[in-house]
A = this chain, B = another copy of it.
C-alpha cells in the first residue's frame, strides 16, 4: 500500500508541517518534492492516522453528564466523547477516548478478555504500541472471521495482541452451538479448551454493547442465530446483548437457550468480571440503559448525545 520510503517521507512531511509549522512549499524544497506532492502526502498522513488531531473538550456540560451517569447508575467510571454530526466520526472519537482510557488499565502480567464489533475494533486501532510483559489476550466467544474487514486484515485479537506484545488465545469456533454433541466436540478441542480455561483469569474485559435490531445483531443473526432463537429473544423481552449474551430491560440475562449455548464465556462469569464497555449511538441507548441498571458495566465509554438519551430514560 505504501512502501517504506514513501512512508518515511509521509512522516517527515507531517512532522515538518504539523509540528514544526513550516509551509508546504518550504517542505517541498527541503524534501525535493513538488508542492502538490507534499499536499497529497499530508492528506494520506491524516487518512492513515499517522497524524492524529485531538481536542481537549473538557467542559462543564460534559463533566456534569459524566457525574450524573456515574451517580445515577453507580458506575465507577464514565468517559464522554463529543458527538459529531457524522456517525462514523463519532465512532472514531469514542474509539480514541476508549483507547486512551484503556491504556490506564493495562499493565504487565495481566489477562485481557476481548469481544468483537465495530467499537472494539476502533478502540484497537487507536491503541498505542507498548511492550507489556506477560500479557495475555483472550477471545471470549467464538466467531470465525465474521469481523474481518477490508481495511485491516487482522482479527481484532491479533491486532490487539501485536500492539500490546501479548499472547493471543483465539477461539476459532461458531458463537452458538445448540447441539450437545457438537458442543462437546468443539469444547474438547485442545486449542479451544486452552482458550476457554483462560477466561476465568481475565482481569478486564473489553467489549461493546449491542442493541436488538442493530446492524451488529443483524450480522449475528444472518450468520449464527436461527429464526426461532430470534423470536425467543424478542418474546422474552430482550433489549440488548453483551459478549454474545442477551439481556432484558433491567440488564438481567434472559433465561433462554441462546444464552446457554455460547461457545465461550458464561453469564455467571460476565457478572463477576470488570467490564470495560464501549458503546455509542442513540439506537443503543436502551441497551446501554439496561446494562447500566443491571450493573454489568464498570467503565463505560460513550458519547454526549447517547448518554443524554440514556439519562432521559431514568426520568420516566
Contacts and interface: CB of A to CB of B under 8 A. Distances in A.
Contacts of A86: 20
B19 A84 contact: yes
Contacts of A7: 59
B11 A59 contact: yes
Question: What size tier do the contact residues of chain A reach?
Answer: 20 to 34
Most buried by B among A20, A53, A89: A53
Contacts of A20: 84-86, 89
Q: Which of A7, A8, A19 has the most CB of B within 10 A?
A: A19
A272 interface: no
A103 interface: yes
A113 to B, nearest CB: 20
B129 A104 contact: no
Interface in A49-69: 49-59
A71 interface: no
Given A8-B59, A52-B56, A59-B8, A89 B128 contact: no
A110 to B, nearest CB: 12
Given A20-B84, A84-B15, A85-B20, A55 B59 contact: no
Contact of A53 (B49, B52, B84): B52
6 contacts: A19-B89, A19-B93, A20-B86, A49-B56, A51-B55, A100-B128
